[in-house]
Amino acid sequence: MPEVAYVDGSFVPLPEARISIEDRGFQFADGVYEVVAVYGGKPYALEPHLQRLERSLAELRLSLDVRAHGLESIIMEGIRRSGFADALIYLQITRGTAPRHHEFPRPAASPTIVMTVKALKRLSPETYARGVAVISRPDQRWKRCDIKSVSLLPNILAKEDAVAAGAFEALLVDDAGRVTEGSSTSSFCVRDGVLWTTPAGNHILPSITRAVLIQLAADLSIPVRQEYCLLDEYLQAEEVLLAGTTTEALAVVQLDGQQIGTGTPGPVTRALRQAFLETVDG
Ligand code: PDD
């Protein structure tokens, strides 16, 4: 089955997809993105992803009406062409191609829209059953982490440290010792049976999976507090878990070499994962 690419109005085989070296996404990371999972041919939580994309574009003052542009039909057409039932959509929009000057091009360039559709590689059932190890790293990102910008250097450096340490993810810790989120995931911990997660704001991405899990926790009568926790509180927590489009809901059983809880996925994480899977199947 083919991996599909879409570049500025045309579907092309992925190896043939090209953009200009003067694209502002390439030169300045002047663009935003979304990653959407497709289960059984249906994009998961597409509407919240499109709304977040619209918000990210607005924050960059990048005027593109994704609805008028028919982005949803482009996504559905990409899924159809790929033939994948379970797929991963990567969508990126930049301020377009223009001679390299920091200020916006005047007149505005036409935004570059690219998309790829690939097979969704879900983590193995064993990984979910065992849980993963993570490390902590300083959060060195900018002050607008709520924008899903393609500028991800601090995230990739932290992730690379995690991989080098044999860990799945790096939890980012701000100057006050508080966990913000993972380098490419949201994070939660369970303390005294309460599910804690960093409050929404400029310092974290408004994760779609995080929002789904908060709702599922409410449905399961698990109390939720959207408040900061210190790294020390994560270390002492009964459970820690990660959430994200490709991660789904995943238990953390070790942090900086220290065991979390019993060292196996705990009851809250297991209940949330089960409830999440039901939303996927539904
Ligand atoms: N990452 N926090 C950060 C910093 C992220 O990059 C992501 C997603 C999340 C989870 O968000 P969501 O639930 O909307 O996927 C949280 C994507 C998947 C990526 O960069 O590939």
Ligand 1 within 6 A of 88 CB?
no
Which residue numbers are catalytic?
A: 148
| 8 A C-beta contact, residue 79 and residue 41 | yes
Atom of ligand 1 nearest to the CA of 183: 4
Domain segments of the chain: what residues? Answer: 4-119, 125-281
Measure the CA–CA gap between 254 and 264, rounded to whole angstroms. 9
Ligand 1 within 6 A of 209 CB?
yes
Verdict on whether the full-model pTM lies above 0.75: yes
- The residue whose two tokens read 């070296």 is 21
Atom of ligand 1 nearest to the CA of 148: 6
142 closest CA partner among 151, 134, 129:
151
- Pairing outcome for strands 239-244 and 224-225: unpaired
CATH architecture, domain 4-119: 2-Layer Sandwich (3.30)
Task: Give distance in angstroms: CA of 207 to centre of ligand 1.
Answer: 6
DSSP letter at 199 equals P
154 closest CA partner among 135, 129, 137:
137
DSSP letter at 97 equals B
- Residue 260 pLDDT: 98
| 8 A C-beta contact, residue 91 and residue 75 | yes
Q: Residue 73's CB: how many other CB atoms inside 10 A?
A: 9
The tens-digit pLDDT sequence of the chain (282 residues) is 689 999 989 999 999 999 999 999 999 999 999 999 999 999 999 999 999 999 999 999 999 999 999 999 999 999 999 999 999 999 999 999 999 999 999 999 999 999 999 999 999 999 999 999 999 999 999 999 999 999 999 999 999 999 999 999 999 999 999 999 999 999 999 999 999 999 999 999 999 999 999 999 999 999 999 999 999 999 999 999 999 999 999 999 999 999 999 999 999 999 999 999 999 986
| 8 A C-beta contact, residue 62 and residue 95 | yes
Q: Which CATH superfamily is domain 125-281 in?
A: D-amino Acid Aminotransferase, subunit A, domain 2 (3.20.10.10)
Measure the CA–CA gap between 138 and 31, rounded to whole angstroms. 25
Ligand 1 within 6 A of 46 CB?
no
Encoded tokens for 235: 């270390």
Nearest CA to ligand 1 atom 3: 184
Atom of ligand 1 nearest to the CA of 33: 20
Ligand 1 within 6 A of 205 CB?
yes
- Residue 282 pLDDT: 66
The C-alpha torsion from 75 through 79 and 81 to 84, rounded to 10°, is 160
Measure the CA–CA gap between 225 and 188, rounded to whole angstroms. 10
